[in-house]
Amino acid sequence: MLDLTGKNALVTGIANNRSIAWGIAQQLHKAGANIGISYLPDERGKMENKVAELVKPLNPSLFVPCNVQSDEQIKEMFEEVASKWGKLDILIHCLAFANKEDLTGGFSNTSRAGFNQALEISTYSLTQLSGAAKPLMTEGGSIVTLTYLGGVRAIPNYNVMGVAKAGLEMSVRYLAAELGEQNIRVNGISAGPIRTLASSAVGGILDMIHHVEKIAPLRRTVTQLEVGNAAAFLCSDLASGITGQILYVDAGYEIMGM
């Protein structure tokens, strides 16, 4: 039985009720995990209020701001984890960003600043957060990130984010190789296209979803909760022998040729 009772789980990347991170947080909570939430702060506090209201049913014991472009905020977030929890068992990384103009047109037109920002937020942040979580995972742990098929195949209107996801998937393998000695497992979930705030920046997202519904073996795309179920599994003892893997949760679309 999937049971996360007594596990402390820090979830990043919830923006609204369509976020995949929200689906993951719900399923971790359902399995008994003690939930902590990080949110992206803004000057007006709009995101803080929105996320705080959304996650109320999960009764999070930790609610902290964190912009992963700030070393200081990352440090403060994990100091809060150490102070309130003492240890961390689960880290969910659902962070990605690229400028909209770098997701359209020719990939060779990607700006230097846009390239660096996309890889800093979408790729490097996993390495940085994992390094900060490592000392707190004293009893082992599980780190799960989100990726997409665009990291291994060329997808229209994905451009620099595809490069970021490719780097993210390779980061999963290197982190798994490093952290395995401490019984910390690192895996990624490659989810099928889902309508989220992040995916809305990708041109033709509805066309992508309809295409998957026609081609995928299950003749549909997937839901946030289905991705959440997979994440809960990877974070549980049922997946104790799995690390360094990319698990496709995409209704089987990845296996198809023509």
Q: In this structure, which amino acid lies at residue 169?
A: E
CA dihedral sign, ordered 98, 101, 102, 104: positive
Helices vs strands, H then E, count in the chain: 8, 7
Of 158, 174, 248, 253, which residue is the catalytic one?
158
Asked if residues 14 and 93 have their Cβ atoms less than 8 Å apart, the reply is no
How far, in Å, are 22, 155, 202, 218, 223 from residue 196 at the CA level? 11, 17, 10, 21, 11
Please, what is the end-to-end C-alpha distance for the chain in angstroms? 38
Q: Is 174 a catalytic residue?
A: no
Rounded to whole angstroms, the Cα distance separating 62 from 69 reads 21
Q: Is 148 a catalytic residue?
A: yes
Of 39, 148, 248, 253, which residue is the catalytic one?
148
Fill in the DSSP letter of residue 56.
G
CA dihedral sign, ordered 201, 202, 204, 206: negative
In the block, tokens 């994990």 appear at 78
Best CA proximity match to 119, nearest among 74, 78, 169, 73: 169
Best CA proximity match to 212, nearest among 226, 193, 231: 193
Active-site annotation, residues:
148, 158
